[in-house]
Amino acid sequence: MKHGFVKVAAASPEMKVADPAFNAKKIIGIIEAQAAKGTEILVFPELCISGYTCGDLFLQQTLRDGCLAALQEIAKATQELKMLVFVGLPVAFEGKIYNCAAAVVGGKVSGVIPKTYLPNYGEFYEARYFSSAPEGSHLLRIGDSYAYFDRDFIVYDNHRPEFAVACEICEDLWAPESPSVRHCRHGATIVVNLSASNETIGKREYRKTLLAAQSGKNLCAYVYADAGVGESTSDMVFAGNHLIYENGVCLAESLPFSGGIAEAEIDVGFLLNERRKTNTFSSVEGDYAADPQVFIGDGDLTLRKFPQLPFVPQGKELERRCGLILSMQSTALAKRLRHARSKTAVLGISGGLDSALALLVTCRAFDLLGKDRENIIAVTMPGFGTSTKTRNNAMSIMQAAGVTVKTVSIGGTVSRHFRDIDHDPEVRNTTYENAQARYRTMVLMDIANETEGLVVGTGDMSELALGWCTYNGDHMSMYAVNASVPKTLVKSLVAYEAKRLGGRMEVVLKSILSTEISPELLPPDEKGNIAQRTEDIVGPYELHDFYLWCFIRRGCSPAKTLYLAEGAFGEKYDRATLKKWLVNFYRRFFAQQFKRDCVPDGVKVGSVSLSPRADWRMPSDASGALWIKEAEEL
């Protein structure tokens, strides 16, 4: 697929125990149907050609020969396809029988992987028939050709070697030293598991825990195919619970007994980016059988949609996340206030979202410390651009919070400053705007000094990414509680607190949520409305947060970012608009690093942060030419 994606599927065919010809026909039917969908890696269950529940029939050569013949028919069915298929069967080799997975691609059997760990407890007694995988690499004759016979085997795409696929079988995952750990350290980015895990109460939940942990700690994708209802039910029942994971996240699941096929599109580029960032994941060298094949195509995403708001979870998870983030912010601020022996906390309240969130966090911190909220000094500083609505919002939220309210009008002082520096106030340039922001910061700092307090910063991560803050103005504070909270998440946090607090506070917070985002540094229009709309100038925050997430969290190129943005926002913005703001994002991000290099301390709440101390490190004069050029040429 395009841009480092691969389409995978896990399926349980209709099957009859000990009837390889029938089972092969059903497997081939699924292969053909998945090929029409563009699937590139397809995984079937353990011993699916024979059936897992054959019992002592595994000792019969007739069954094993029938399975090998069926395997060759399955291989022929892949001759004209770009697809890597894994099927399970019993294989006799050098006087022993092995429970194996066969990798089939391009009309041939590429490799046969024997199972390492054999369960021999409870309802499982595989050691009665099978032997554990031998060490070393061998060749196995299948018809007129040979295939690798090796537990350490990787198939990779000859044109795109980052698509490297390894295999383990059922119990191998449950063992303390799973082969997949070794496979991943030798370069596998995708692990497939052919399984026959019977269904019992609670087992599905444990199975999912194992898969999430295995894919997460190995920074890999994991495709798990489970035996289905066609198996014998003499002592067990199998549910066909297929699962697909990417770095600990479940992308797809076919529910038990649903008869469904799990299908997903895995971002191998993201997995490689995670591995490069994580020095605890180390690659090793050693003997591994590897077979180059061609099974990756150039299809588009058809199954996977990336969320428009990647920083904002949906459904019930949103409430849980908001509560956790607010606890993290307030706990961190409480620690800083205690350590600094601050008697007060000082905030500038504009009547907008960011300062509202900072005030809510500060109130929580004072409640944690058992301190009177009267020691929170909330300062409103109306200037040339302050609108009636934001001024009212500012007063209302301070009063509802029960904090000390202070008003400092900055118009007169800033006008005198203009005279001091010979600036014409009719020239509404950067000087006109930034003089207001810097004076407001000076007011807050001096009040904090006067009251033995600490200035709580209000700026968010999206503003830092774009440099949408005045250097040594609102860019500066003594502790920045919103520094790693993106703008799209700020809205959710404020909405959460509005619902939780209710009453008068809910009313004012809803008013703030409905107010346009603006720095309010230019005078209102003739009707008293906000004249300066931030998103008209820098672009929609929902796009910039999406671009930031792609750039920092997933390591996407400009081309991949635009591709994902078209999938997420295609119905809302056309390609030209998405491209325009993408180019603007890279230009601003690279130009504004000097502001991020000297930001105050601030708590990290998510996986993305721009702190120069703990997260994002980039020279202030780094060139963004490569990224901008690629984005402009899309």
Tens-place pLDDT, residues 291-304 = 899 999 999 999 99
Per-residue pLDDT tens digits for 72-120: 999 999 999 999 999 999 999 999 999 999 999 999 999 999 999 999 8
Weakest-pLDDT range from 50-64, 136-150, 456-470, 510-524? 510-524
What CA–CA distances, in Å, run from 57 to 52, 74, 187, 469?
11, 22, 37, 74
Instruction: Check whether residue 289 and residue 377 sit in a common domain.
Output: no
The answer to whether 46 is a known catalytic residue is: yes
Number of domains in the chain: 2
Instruction: Check whether residue 107 and residue 153 sit in a common domain.
Output: yes
Instruction: Check whether residue 42 and residue 87 sit in a common domain.
Output: yes
Instruction: Check whether residue 363 and residue 474 sit in a common domain.
Output: yes
Asked whether the beta carbons of 74 and 87 are under 8 A apart, the reply is yes
What share of the chain has pLDDT > 90, as a percent?
90
311 is a domain residue: no
The answer to whether 556 is a known catalytic residue is: no
Does residue 579 have a pLDDT over 70?
A: yes
Q: What is the mean pLDDT of residues 15-31?
A: 98
Q: What is the mean pLDDT of residues 263-271?
A: 98
Does residue 559 have a pLDDT over 90?
A: yes
Does residue 566 have a pLDDT over 80?
A: yes
Predicted local confidence at residue 225, as pLDDT: 98
Instruction: Check whether residue 218 and residue 103 sit in a common domain.
Output: yes
Does residue 458 have a pLDDT over 70?
A: yes
Does residue 528 have a pLDDT over 90?
A: no
CATH of the domain at 599: 3.40.50.620
Does residue 122 have a pLDDT over 80?
A: no
307 is a domain residue: no
Predicted local confidence at residue 415, as pLDDT: 96
Does residue 513 have a pLDDT over 70?
A: yes
Two structure tokens written together for 286:
């050693």
Instruction: Check whether residue 183 and residue 330 sit in a common domain.
Output: no
Residue from 7, 26, 46, 433 carrying the catalytic annotation = 46
Point out which residues pair with 100 in neighbouring strands.
89, 114
Residue from 48, 170, 220, 556 carrying the catalytic annotation = 170
The residues, any chain, with a CB within 8 Å of residue 626's CB and separated by 6 or more, are none
Residue from 26, 115, 491, 595 carrying the catalytic annotation = 115
623 is a domain residue: yes
Asked whether the beta carbons of 519 and 532 are under 8 A apart, the reply is yes
What share of the chain has pLDDT > 70, as a percent?
99
Structural domain range at position 361: 316-632
Predicted local confidence at residue 517, as pLDDT: 85
> Residue 499: which pLDDT band, with cuts at 50, 70 and 90?
very high
* First-to-last C-alpha distance (Å) of the chain: 18
Does residue 532 have a pLDDT over 80?
A: no
Predicted local confidence at residue 527, as pLDDT: 67
Does residue 531 have a pLDDT over 70?
A: no
Weakest-pLDDT range from 124-128, 342-346, 376-380, 458-462? 124-128
Two structure tokens written together for 469:
């803050």
Q: What is the mean pLDDT of residues 175-199?
A: 96
* CA 31, chain centre distance (Å): 30
Instruction: Check whether residue 323 and residue 266 sit in a common domain.
Output: no
Q: What is the mean pLDDT of residues 10-31?
A: 98
